[in-house]
Amino acid sequence: MLHVGLCIAALFVVSITHWVYRWRNPKCNGKLPPGSMGLPLLGETLDFFTPNQTNDTPFIKNRIKRYGPIFRTSLVGLQVIVSTDSELSYMVFQQEGQSFESWYPPSFRRIFGNQNISSLHGSLHKYLKNMVLSVVGPESLKKMFSEVESVATRNLEVWASQETVELKTSIGNMVFEFMGKKLISYDPEKSSENLRDNFEAFIRGLISFPLEIPGTAYYKCLQGRKKMIMKLKNMLEERRAKPNKVKNDFFDYVLEELKQNDTMLTEATALDLMFALLFANFETTSQAITVAIKFLTHNPRALKELTEEHQKILRKRENPKAGLTWEEYKSMRFTFQVINETLRLASIVPVLFRKAKKDIKFKEYTIPSGWAVMVCPPAVHLDPVNYKDPLDFNPWRWEDMDLKSASKTFMAFGGGQRFCVGADFAKLQIAIFLHCLVTKYQWQPIKGGDIVRTPGLQFPNGFHVRIFEKET
């Protein structure tokens, strides 16, 4: 019996040893990029999610120093190739549907839904993309131009009457109010509950360790999603029972599509899409505006030039009290430089995932079929090879650069077929808000403003400021 027991123990040790070896040395029909797979199953997940109180990316930077711009790792049990190489990252975006396909970890898909637009492919993805363009496409932007300015003006007037304002929350409320109206005719003053509150737990858990245990950020995030989807479903049912005679919002458009016999749209897909649109616009745009104000606060020269650009717009008008025009918006050259520089430094979307559809050769390395590829915009944006003094807020670096599209070194809105359809809408909201702010108001920081990456960008202590009207 003792002999048998020793044999079983020996086999167990050998099996575990072999399993750990295979974990650390994955099979590859070629040369894998260098790196470490970390602990079995856990990988390097804990290190990846460790909060960082600088604008830099230490998890990525430490591994770049050790392994180079392309390395392998394991996150939440997944085999991942991390790309901070601008050439590879660009190739990943451009070969969507050929060598790579859009893909996100199961933990992420549970949050956004299996039918969310970022996880869909082919004709269904194209179909949903066109639906979104009906809301935020070029023609729609011109129609909602004055509404965006009106919302910004009204909120700034309210904030200027208060002792202090926590910018991230206040701007988030403003953006959510506008997008909620466009999508679902949401009016916080008439509604019995604040839909915006349902996103609070969602935001904190979106990029967190995916441990579904009560009390964890990820668990609260999933609960926030369930509540929000249920509320959207109830609203959809109410609209079905009492449809609007005239199409007023995106819900009306969705209901019309669901009635069609040949539609590709399902109710589940529609709800996931609505959920994603509400979150993506409010969270990313409010983050970008808040970060822009933070950078401008500490760069008087940039604030002065930005203010002069917008004062010049007012001086050229026949009627100084008239609203912004499309032509004036298009003339905001320095404003777009400020926006691009803010998005470069903030890298509000910290990672973008794709999956290799086959074995892919890149330089001396092979990316195995089925492996995830994680593109890291912050690492590309903060690479001194791509940008001189990359941690400095320097809008003037964009003077002779393309301000409109994605490139190998600028991927704030992704790239390729998955280039964010809401990019122009986000820039428009930021530009109009900055116009309303700098032409009429000044602000003074009171407390907070510290940025933490986990790896998503957060303001753990908020950013509290005092806003007051300029003396005329």
Annotated binding-site positions for heme: 420
Residue set of the binding site: 420
CA atoms within 13 A on the CB side of 363: 12
Number of Cβ within 10 Å of residue 51's Cβ equals 10
User: Hey, CA dihedral for 80, 83, 87, 93, is it positive or negative?
Assistant: positive
Q: Which residues of 381-400 are buried (b: 16+ CB within 10 A; e: fewer)?
A: bbbeebbeebeebbbebbee
**CA angle, 97 then 98 then 100, to 5°:** 70
Burial tier of 316 (Cβ tally within 10 Å: 0-12, 13-18, 19+) = exposed
Residue 360 backbone dihedrals phi, psi, to 5 degrees: -125, 125
Round to whole Å and give the CA distance between 385 and 399.
Answer: 18
Which residue(s) pair with 453 in the sheet?
A: 52, 457
CA atoms within 13 A on the CB side of 252: 14
Element spanning 91, H or E = helix 86-94
CA atoms within 13 A on the CB side of 37: 16
What are the DSSP calls for 278-290, one per residue? Answer: HHHHHHHHHHHHH
